[in-house]
Amino acid sequence: MAQSRVAIVTGAARGIGAAVAKRLAEDGYAVGVLDLTEDHCKDTVAAIQQAGGTALAVGADVSNADQVTAAVSKVAEELGPPAVLVNNAGILRDNLLFKMSEDDWDLVLNVHLRGAFLMSREVQKYQTEAGWGRIVNLSSTSALGNRGQANYSAAKAGMQGFTKTLAIELGKFGITVNAIAPGFIETDMTAATAERVGVDFEQFKQGAAAAIPVQRVGQPEDIAAMASFFAREESGFVSGQVIYVAGGPQD
Ligand code: NAP
């Protein structure tokens, strides 16, 4: 195992990020739980601590370079040098192209892509020095195209190219970089989508499940299990991959 046992998970206040943070804590990592404010992180941190793990709340907007630098330094000082980074923070600003504002385009691209870029650039300093690291990026099945999500699908397709390029650049330092592309996962994000299209969330989930080969929607823990695999020592020969965790094959 790596000398360092510290992980940072962005967007870890709730949903997939919270599940990933809890899973990595169960796996033995001290976890920097990063979200927009420290206060947002408190439930995830408390859950990890109650289960006997170590966690630190870190407030930062991942699209802000100064805040990212300060956040990663804080984790390094208080927990130790970060070895694992999960770029999970994300937002939706869905709209059809002709109604999409420049702000909605910029915001989504900034949080997902600029955020992953800034976080990875900062964390790799510690990983390259240690000669070991794991970066896991959250893509999406929307990378393959999804009506009303020109901004989000561009960001999530961008995450795949970003993942492969970092895998090429960082491999010689013992760092693997992979992406998880979830399908429908039951979180506040999919609940917000149901609300936007005016469908009751239970009905929305049933409709989605019927179209998924395993006949259910995903849970945040399904994604946490994949992140746990990518964070392990034994996954060290898997890099630059995009794994669809979607209950069935994707095109
Ligand atoms: P979620 O429940 O909406 O949680 C997203 C988290 O990211 C929130 O805690 C949010 O903070 C945080 N966040 C947003 N902007 C941030 C920023 N600038 N800096 C730091 N943190 C920020 O979403 P989720 O469903 O768990 O999704 C997690 C990731 O998986 C996202 O990248 C998403 O695109 C991807 N994904 C989700 C699904 C799905 O079906 N749910 C499918 C494919 C991919 P606040 O709580 O403070 O707002």
- Residue 221's alpha-carbon distances to 18, 51, 102, 176, in angstroms, are 9, 16, 34, 22
- The mean predicted confidence, pLDDT, of the chain is 97
Q: What is the DSSP string of the chain?
A: --S--EEEEETTTSHHHHHHHHHHHHTT-EEEEEESSTGGGHHHHHHHHHTT--EEEEE--TT-HHHHHHHHHHHHHHT-S--EEEE-------B-GGG--HHHHHHHHIIIIIHHHHHHHHHHHHHHHHT-EEEEEE--GGGG--TTBHHHHHHHHHHHHHHHHHHHHHGGGTEEEEEEEE-SB-SHHHHHHHHHHT--HHHHHHHHHHTSTTSS-B-HHHHHHHHHHHHSGGGTT--S-EEEESSS---
Going by pLDDT thresholds of 50, 70 and 90, the confidence category of residue 2 is very low
Q: Which domains does the chain have, with CATH numbers?
A: 6-183+222-245 (3.40.50.720), 187-217 (no CATH)
Whether 21 is in the pocket of ligand 1, judged by its Cβ within 6 Å, is no
Question: Which of 81, 195, 191 shows the shortest CA–CA distance to 132?
Answer: 81
Share of the chain above pLDDT 90, in %: 98
Whether 35 is in the pocket of ligand 1, judged by its Cβ within 6 Å, is yes
91: CA distance to ligand 1 center in Å? 5
233: CA distance to ligand 1 center in Å? 27
Q: Whose CA is nearest to atom 31 of ligand 1?
A: 90
Alpha carbons 189 and 138: distance in angstroms, whole number: 14
Counting from 1 in the atom list of ligand 1, the atom nearest the Cα of 40 is 47
Render pLDDT for 194-207 as a digit per residue (tens, 0 to 9). Answer: 999 999 999 999 99
Residues serving a catalytic function are 152
Whether 87 is in the pocket of ligand 1, judged by its Cβ within 6 Å, is no
Mean pLDDT calculated for residue range 119-144 = 98
Alpha carbons 31 and 85: distance in angstroms, whole number: 10
Question: Which of 127, 101, 143, 134 shows the shortest CA–CA distance to 242?
Answer: 143
pTM: 0.98
Render pLDDT for 35-64 as a digit per residue (tens, 0 to 9). Answer: 999 999 999 999 999 999 999 999 999 999
Alpha carbons 160 and 243: distance in angstroms, whole number: 10
Whether 247 is in the pocket of ligand 1, judged by its Cβ within 6 Å, is no
Q: Best of 91, 112, 195, 201 to mutate for ligand 1, by most ligand atoms within 8 A of CB?
A: 91
